Amino acid sequence: LKGKCVLCGICYGMCPRTIDETAEIVTRFLASPIYDEFLGGYREIVSARTRIDEIAKFAQDGGIVTSLLAYMIDKGIIDGAVLTIADDSWQAKPIVATSREEIIECAGTKYTVSPNLYAIREAVYDKGLSKIVVVGTPCQITAVRKMQLHPTISDVGSRIFMTIGLFCMESFDYKALVDDFIVKQKGLKIEEIGKFMITKGKLILLSKEGKELLSVPLKEIKKAARKACEFCQDFTSELADISVGSVGSPEGWSSVITRSELGEKIFKKAVEDGYIEYKSIEEVKPGKDAIIKLSKRKKASKEG
């Protein structure tokens, strides 16, 4: 939406926290054969990693999101993707990537909020793209599904080819996390940071050379978490075609949940064409139980 408000109600309707249209979304886009009360509907859960060296060196974990996007852009299946990129100060920003190089440049997790859905307008109206993948957090994926569902904005929804959702417990306010905590409180220089990681209950910062700069329990940055995240119960992006996260898989691998027929097809084709390798989630530790544990915790904390 752009321009003066005319009280059309579209922004209210598309908001992930207003009208609950989960049942309609599942019926139209997912229809997954397996249902779990904590994971949602799905077809298969695996642990996977990229087989592309160019991607592996930039990947946060298994490099799966980047590999899937690279596969689709290489094969001409899509003409662009709405992603997040970090600038030199680690400020997360939305971007429309239309090449393999731009996709790889966006590799890696950004833990501060990025208004990715703003970039859908750019993809559709400015760049004229017709087959877009949107990568986002659970709340963003819910909003995208609403866009696809409603004919009032079919000019946007019809251009979205697929959604890839990220596991997400919460996201963080940039000023509170980076400016106030990392720079002012911990005394680090932002230009020294090469990678952010949240793993095993800790925030870990690495230098560009891979040296550990900071390791603190997540409770120390709890105040930096966005208040809006307190109302979300979706850890695994239950409405996405494919969901991806580190939880449940060993280091260097990602957990992948295929949910829709389309998501399953694209993932398997990327495997067949040598972009990705995988094994059953049952073959790895900590496995599916770890994903369920965090999903259960998120749902319980919001209900309470």
Q: What would the pLDDT profile of 177-233 be if each residue is shown by its tens digit? A: 999 999 999 999 999 999 999 988 899 999 989 899 999 999 999 999 998 888 899
Helix 261-272 to helix 64-74 angle (10° resolution) is 80
This model's pTM is above 0.85:
yes
Cross-strand bridge partners of residue 205: 196, 214
At 87-133, the pLDDT tens digits run: 989 999 999 999 999 999 999 888 998 999 999 999 999 999 999 99
- Are both 259 and 215 inside the same structural domain? no
Q: Quick check: is 256 in a domain?
A: yes
Do residue 78 and residue 45 come from a single domain? yes
Same domain, 87 and 206: no
Say whether both 18 and 161 belong to one domain. yes
On whether residue 253 sits in a domain, the answer given is yes
CB-based contacts of 263, cutoff 8 Å, min separation 6: 43, 162, 240, 241, 242
What is the model's pLDDT at position 64? 98
Note the Cα 149 to chain centre separation in Å.
Answer: 20
Residue 90: left (phi > 0), alpha (psi -120 to 50), or beta?
A: left
Number of domains in the chain: 2
Residue 5 lies in a domain: no
> At 219, which CATH number?
3.10.450.750
Same domain for 86 and 136? yes
Distances (CA, A) of 257 to 64, 144, 295: 11, 18, 13
Contact 152, 140 (CB under 8 A): no
Q: Are strands 92-97 and 40-42 parallel, antiparallel or unpaired?
A: unpaired
Q: Is the residue at 302 inside a domain?
A: no
95 in a domain, yes or no?
A: yes
Domain that holds residue 209: 172-225
pLDDT confidence of residue 14: 84
Short-list 277, 286, 276, 238, CA closest to 258: 238
Verify that 186 and 165 share a domain, yes or no: no
Residues 119 and 262 in one domain: yes
Q: Which of the listed residues 225, 245, 260 is the one where a domain comes to its end?
A: 225
My answer on whether 177 and 163 are in the same domain is: no
Hey, what are 205's tokens?
């910062």
> Which residue, among 127, 232, 220, has the nearest Cα to 181 in the 3D structure?
220
Q: Does a structural domain hold residue 1?
A: no
> Which of 209, 225, 241 represents a domain boundary (last residue)?
225
193 backbone dihedrals φ, ψ, rounded to 5°: -80, 130
The answer to whether 244 and 167 have CB atoms below 8 angstroms apart is: yes
* Residue 295 clears pLDDT 70, i.e. is over it: yes
Whether the upstream peptide bond of residue 33 has omega within 30° of 0, thus cis, is no
DSSP symbols for 104-126 = HHT-S---B---TTHHHHIIIII
Beta strand 160-166 with 242-245 is: parallel
| Residue 237: band (very low, low, confident or very high) from pLDDT cuts 50, 70, 90 | very high
Task: Please state which of the ranges 229-233, 264-268, 279-283 shows the lowest mean pLDDT.
Answer: 229-233
Could you tell me if 181 and 163 lie in one domain?
Answer: no
- 95 and 138 housed in the same domain: yes
Residues 110 and 44 both lie in one domain: yes
Identify whether 7 is part of a domain: no
The verdict on 110 and 236 lying in the same domain is yes
* Type of residue numbered 46: V
Last residue of a domain, one of 204, 225, 246: 225
Q: Is residue 47 part of a domain?
A: yes
